[in-house]
Amino acid sequence: MDSRIRSIVKKLTLEEKVSLCSGSDDWHTKEIERLGIPAVMVSDGPGGLRKQDPDAEDHRVDNSIKAVCFPAAVNLAASFDTEIVRSVGETLGEECQAENIAALLGPGINIKRSPLCGRNFEYYSEDPYLAGKIAAAYINGVQSKGVGTSLKHFCANNQEYRRNSYDSRIDERTLREIYLKGFEIAVRESRPWTVMCAYNMVNGVQMSENRRLLTEILRDEWGFEGMTVSDWGAVRNRVRGIAAGLDLEMPYSGGAYDDLVISAVRSGELPETDLDACVERILDFVFKAVDNHNAEAKWDKDRDHIYARSVADECMVLLKNENHVLPVKSDEYVLFVGGFARNPRFQGGGSSHVNCTKIDSELFAAQGNSKVMYEEGFASENDSVDRVRFDRAVRAAQSVEKVVVFAGLPEQYESEGYDRAHMDLPRVQNDLIEAIAAVNPHVIVVLENGSPVTMPWIDKVEGVLETYLCGEGVGVSTFRTLYGTSNPSGRLPETFPLRLEDNPSYIDFSGDVTEIDYREGIFTGYRYYTKKKMPVLFPFGYGLSYSSFTYGLMNCDRESMKDNETVEVTVDVINESSVPGKEVVQLYVEPDIPNTGIVRAVRELKGFTKVFLDAHEKKTVRFVLDKSAFAYYDTDISDWYVEPGDYRIEICRNADEVIEEKVINVVPKKPKKIIYDENSIYKDLKVDHQAWRIVKPYFDMFIAQEGISDPDECLADMTLRSIVGMSRGKITYTQMRELIDRLNK
């Protein structure tokens, strides 16, 4: 902490310190003129600036300045491209500088536990590794421009229903491996200036006063040195919050808690040192922003609009392309159908909503192309049926070579503030797709949605392009992808299940309850579907290209390692086609340890990289794996642990499709100490050579007494305590206790 800040803190009165711990309005920190402490401004994000317009009369969400809307978080994750995400971050950082924003309130990296979460579009993935890596790239990009970020919502905020008060009840291993892991990666790899605590409770403790998570894990274990800020209105008890390490309360609460905090300090209930620590971290944030501010910065909205289109290109996920229906050829007569072509859906609702500079619709992109015709067919805003429009679209579909239906979720179907009721598209859209597919064999569906949908017509259409919510450049980017001037290279950052009921959280998600048990444990998303060998509509990591890629030689630079060492994995990727394109190489690790007592996922993503390959080009891709690729969180030792044994390192096309694999044997440098007790059994003791030397005479005695010829089979499950009970007094309880003490020494 710099000495300037320490000396300011010494000069602050108790009242001033307390007042600094909350904002001055919705978006600013407090100013204290006499000590030269300025106010700084924060703004939502994260897909574009939602800076409150200082000239607007009221503070409605849409009263923000004009800004550029980039693809939503789900799209950035679908790019599987940390370089592009970093560069989006850099652009946003420059925009923040030009608007004098100290920190952008994002990224949000909560796990997509259910396809129904209303904010899924604002989150990255069902997989914590992907979420953490994408978040780190985004944060590093923004912060490289001297602007802070706010990694949110910490943590386990996976639904909107009762979002301020529900309790996420999660066992420790699941918390560590799934719900904290992405935050851990992002904190360690990008050092966000701030972390935003979530609204909800975790295991009975409100996040805004959760010392274990806000201080013991975030700061003490992961080394976070920045400021924590409450989600807007997330504070419950400010005294407990300060003691827990929650620094800044946002927004301004009218000083509602100041008197309580002052009297808690005066009475000794709250140590003043706790308050000082919060104030120091707030001031550190404020001065870091001031010191890094570039008063000369300007931003060019037109340039960033064009850039937003090319970012969208990188995120398109081609889900189906039968008979090479795509790309559409320029001389083909094509019918565009659907209200979304005129009025695209390209961003989510709520605090991330950007007041766009301009919006490219698909019809705008198709302007001047005499081979493209348009029929609305259905409205983009709701599920209403207009029979005349519907029938006109079906009639027009009969006389063209191809039909592109622009379908998606109306704005009111998904947003911050509420969860989706089901996973389906509006019925009118499904009906029209079916009706058109019945009269034209070459139908392509373009989807505009923030989260998975069911596709009852999937076998009747030839093409599906998932654009998600790809920002204000949506139309131009979609058009480029449909016509092949851009080659799709996105991959699904989440599984599309066949039905909502297949999702592992289905039984426990939402409902009219406050306590949500995460009973599926570590089996979120693909971890569940692969374990249950369940068919899905599209697996995690899935996506096609206009190029065709094959894989060559895979190599690991060692066959065994200790968990403090690393292994280098290389694999050749070849573009067999004459179309230049990008491939996402995905690396998963699958434990292959017979008779393990540890429940593990079939495979987990542990590396990915996106590589550009010219026509017929070959490149070698390289990964380095360390302990984190093999470890699970062991609650016996409260630490990550690598079970000794074989692990398959797999190069996959997606979570369901392994292309190449190699096996490596990994052992922990420090094996876990096994604790024995009365319930320890024969077969576990026998594999531990030292333990076996100690207990063997006792089992031998019993074997001889009973005349057992095949002890490995008969006694496999026999406990130490049963020797006492069955030895007919030859072995006493005291002897057994001494034996256990010797074993544990």
Minimum CB distance to ligand BGC smaller for 160 or for 472: 160
Residue in 231, 247, 304, 360 annotated catalytic = 231
- Does position 419 interact with ligand BGC (CB under 6 A)? The reply is no
- Does position 105 interact with ligand BGC (CB under 6 A)? The reply is yes
Joined tokens for residue 261: 């905090």
Residue 308: count other Cβ atoms within 10 Å of its Cβ. Answer: 28
CA distance 616 to 579: 8
- Does position 231 interact with ligand BGC (CB under 6 A)? The reply is yes
- Does position 252 interact with ligand BGC (CB under 6 A)? The reply is no
SS3 463: strand
680: Cβ–Cβ under 8 A, 6 or more apart, which residues?
719, 720, 740, 743
Compute the least distance from the CB of residue 123 to ligand BGC, in Å: 11
Compute the least distance from the CB of residue 333 to ligand BGC, in Å: 46
What one-letter code names the amino acid at 222?
W
DSSP, residue by residue, 381-401: SS----HHHHHHHHHHHTTSS
Minimum CB distance to ligand BGC smaller for 95 or for 376: 95
Minimum CB distance to ligand BGC smaller for 123 or for 374: 123
Minimum CB distance to ligand BGC smaller for 22 or for 586: 22
CA distance 97 to 408: 35
**Which residue from 225, 246, 231, 243 is spatially nearest to 288, judged by alpha carbons?**
225
Residues 581-600 that bind ligand BGC (CB under 6 A): none
Residue 258: count other Cβ atoms within 10 Å of its Cβ. Answer: 17
Minimum CB distance to ligand BGC smaller for 248 or for 334: 248
Joined tokens for residue 346: 């390209």
SS3 64: strand
C-alpha dist (Å) from residue 388 to 339, 376, 385, 399, 496: 14, 10, 9, 18, 33
DSSP assignment, residue 52? B
DSSP, residue by residue, 285-312: HHHHHHHH--TT----HHHHHHHHHHHH
Minimum CB distance to ligand BGC smaller for 81 or for 231: 231
Compute the least distance from the CB of residue 64 to ligand BGC, in Å: 10
User: Backbone phi, then psi, for 132, in 5-degree steps?
Assistant: -65, -45
CA distance 231 to 3: 29
C-alpha dist (Å) from residue 595 to 591, 598, 600, 684: 12, 9, 12, 10
Name the burial class of residue 151, with classes exposed (0-12), middle (13-18) and buried (19+) by CB atoms within 10 angstroms of its CB.
Answer: buried
Minimum CB distance to ligand BGC smaller for 108 or for 408: 108
- Does position 156 interact with ligand BGC (CB under 6 A)? The reply is no
List beta partners, residue 483: none
- Does position 127 interact with ligand BGC (CB under 6 A)? The reply is no
DSSP assignment, residue 647? E
CA distance 45 to 101: 11
Minimum CB distance to ligand BGC smaller for 157 or for 530: 157
- Does position 232 interact with ligand BGC (CB under 6 A)? The reply is yes
Compute the least distance from the CB of residue 538 to ligand BGC, in Å: 28
CA distance 118 to 349: 9
- Does position 351 interact with ligand BGC (CB under 6 A)? The reply is yes
Compute the least distance from the CB of residue 27 to ligand BGC, in Å: 8
Give the x/- contact pattern for ligand BGC in 162-201, rule: CB under 6 A.
Answer: ----------------------------------------
Compute the least distance from the CB of residue 232 to ligand BGC, in Å: 4
Give the x/- contact pattern for ligand BGC in 295-334, rule: CB under 6 A.
Answer: ----------------------------------------
Minimum CB distance to ligand BGC smaller for 415 or for 530: 415
Compute the least distance from the CB of residue 24 to ligand BGC, in Å: 15
Indicate if 231 belongs to the active site: yes
Residues 68-87 that bind ligand BGC (CB under 6 A): none
Compute the least distance from the CB of residue 304 to ligand BGC, in Å: 21
Compute the least distance from the CB of residue 344 to ligand BGC, in Å: 24
Joined tokens for residue 570: 């290389």
Q: Site for ligand BGC (CB under 6 A): which residue of 44, 247, 249, 520?
A: 44
The number of residues that bind ligand BGC (CB under 6 A) is 6
Q: Site for ligand BGC (CB under 6 A): which residue of 30, 86, 133, 152?
A: 152
CA distance 740 to 745: 9
Of all residues in the shown chain, the one whose CB is closest to ligand BGC is: 351
Catalytically annotated residues: 231
Interaction site with ligand BGC (CB under 6 A): 44, 105, 152, 231-232, 351
